[in-house]
Amino acid sequence: MKKTTKKLLALIGAMTLVVGSLTACGSTTDTAAATTATTDTATTDTATTDTTATDTTATDTTAADTTTTDLSGTITMAGSTSMEKLANAVAEAFMAKNPGVTVTAEFTGSSAGLESLTAGSVNIGNSSRSLKDEEKAAGLVENIVAIDGIAVVVDPANKVTNLTKDQLAQIYTGTIKNWSDVGGASEPIVVVGREAGSGTRDAFEELVGVKDTCVYSNELDSTGAVAAKVASTPGAIGYVSLDVVDDTVIALSLEGVAPTVENIKAGTYFLSRPFVMATMGEISAQDANVQALFAYLASDEGKALIESVGLITVD
């Protein structure tokens, strides 16, 4: 009897494997999208990619004004690491209002997020820079949801408090190498920046006018990593999203203007860039969940949320 039960169990195990692999093979695009997803929600991803496939194929715009508590389904976002705080805050708040909807976000970089959007594996692509012409030509629509300042940070022990745009450019191209040349102690400058596909790096280099001529000593993969490196290295300088600045680093004034919300809104602080939540096609062509998300962002509650994470709302 023992032998036959063993054989029976082995047979059942083999059948389950076969059935499982057949169902996986059945939905090839979904599994391809699932493999591009990163660590965040490993098990829920396979469930969400199945339902997003059905969501994006259904284009029933007449369901736009359902009551928010009736919504159900998933919204997937991918993109900029600078937008992590905003994406997480929006996801939490929206899910609290609409318990039937699951909002997931991955942080792979602005360019990677827009690529995922073009490939159709996510609903929203987060980007911390404006869209390029090729991306707009592929059908992506640029929905600016907030304005973000880029803060230039140094470690807390640094006595320098202000830099001119010229000095900043010279530091990042390697012409100025010591803090004593800009009014600080005699310490070498450690230039920290982002990797080549980063929206923050793109925006920074363009606004300061040093595109493709920067000489970095450290090219790190996320806004958080830059902040951590600057905080722990005396003499380091780096650029981060304004909402990430906390007590561990000091944000410099540029051209005498401090990086505050008022100055960015007034336009006197020149390092600011749009936070874009791009969609494939206009918002009105998206499914009910995505439309509700954008409606939430445009509402007073949404604006309060955006300001609470340190960003500036668009009027």
Helix axes 288-298 and 300-308, enclosed angle (nearest 10): 70
For residue 14, what are the contacts with CB-CB under 8 A and spacing of at least 6?
none
Q: Which is nearer to other proteins, 189 or 311 (CB)?
A: 189
Question: Residue 216 or 296: which CB sits closer to other proteins?
Answer: 216
Nearer to other proteins, 108 or 121 (CB): 108
In the complex, minimum distance from the CB of residue 231 to other proteins, in angstroms, rounded to a whole number: 11
Closer residue to other proteins, CB minimum distance, 4 or 57: 4
> At closest approach, how far in Å is the CB of 2 from other proteins?
10
Chain residues binding other proteins by CB under 8 A are 3-4, 7, 108-112, 115, 174, 177, 188-192, 195-197, 212, 215-221, 229, 232-236
CB of 224 to other proteins, least distance (A): 13
Q: Please name the residue that has the structure tokens 């995505």.
A: 290
Among residues 125 and 274, whose Cβ is nearest to other proteins?
125
- Minimum CB separation from other proteins for residue 160, in Å? 16
Min dist CB 217 to other proteins, Å, is 4
Q: Answer yes or no: are the C-beta atoms of 79 and 110 closer than 8 Å.
A: yes
Residues 134 and 125 sit within 8 Å (Cβ to Cβ)? no
- The neighbouring-strand residues paired with 154 are 237, 250
Give the burial class of 123: count Cβ atoms within 10 A of its Cβ; 0-12 exposed, 13-18 middle, 19 or more buried. Answer: buried
Give the whole-angstrom CA distance, residue 77 versus residue 183: 44
